[in-house]
Chain A
Amino acid sequence: DVKVTQSSRYLVKRTGEKVFLECVQDMDHENMFWYRQDPGLGLRLIYFSYDVKMKEKGDIPEGYSVSREKKERFSLILESASTNQTSMYLCASTTAGTGEKLFFGSGTQLSVL
């Protein structure tokens, strides 16, 4: 069965800490995405990647960076965590091609204190 795995289900960090959220997919997908989900706002795209070492900004990239050194792994980095980054973070992947469905991980609930 296809799988997108996010390393942590819950994470608690302190303001100013550097935070790494990891995502691994086993489907050999080219495209990978990071979304954040907030009540009443739905999902908002932070960053995405079409290929190894390639990245594109989404709609809300401020305060975040990403890394994709291997095809199967896409990391989201909060350089200096702030309380307004408390959120649910969802990773997704899809194969190349318009209109292909996204496969989502189960999410990481990040709390920044």
Chain B
Amino acid sequence: AQSVTQPDIHITVSEGASLELRCNYSYGATPYLFWYVQSPGQGLQLLLKYFSGDTLVQGIKGFEAEFKRSQSSFNLRKPSVHWSDAAEYFCAVEVDSSYKLIFGSGTRLLVRP
């Protein structure tokens, strides 16, 4: 069965430091992959998505993610974190072109001043 794993429940980084959030998926074919962010008290907002082509994907708010088929990974990165990036981040995979998304359990990012 398809699944998405986010191994880090919490991550704390200092403002200005770089960030990498990990995501691994289990899916037979080439997946459609997404990263969403949820700020406190809000719904989820799309950061970026990958379908095909260039494996390095640029998103909003300075985020990028790299698809690595050999590692079944789609890690999210940002070179310099801002205090406003503190939120919960979810990786997701679309199942069988069905519009249904399977989400990971999320990673909560804390930013130290």
Contacts and interface: CB of A to CB of B under 8 A. Distances in A.
A106 B4 CA distance: 23
Count class of interface residues, chain B: 20 to 34
Given A31-B99, A42-B90, A45-B100, A99 B32 contact: yes
Contacts of A50: 99
B99 A94 contact: yes
Interface in B8-41: 9, 32, 34, 36, 41
B51 A99 contact: yes
> What interface size band does chain A fall in?
20 to 34
B101 interface: yes
Interface in B87-112: 90, 92, 94, 97, 99-106
A98 B43 contact: no
Contacts, number: 59
Interface string A40-55: 1111110010100000
A106 B105 contact: no
18 contacts: A31-B99, A33-B100, A40-B9, A42-B4, A42-B105, A42-B106, A43-B90, A43-B103, A45-B100, A58-B100, A90-B44, A96-B99, A98-B32, A99-B32, A100-B99, A102-B44, A102-B101, A104-B43
B43 A101 contact: no
A99 B97 CA distance: 7
A41 B49 CA distance: 22
Contacts of B100: 33, 45, 48, 58
A28 B104 CA distance: 28
Given A42-B90, A99-B49, A99-B51, A106 B99 contact: no
A104 B34 CA distance: 14
Contacts of A90: 43-44
B41 A106 contact: yes
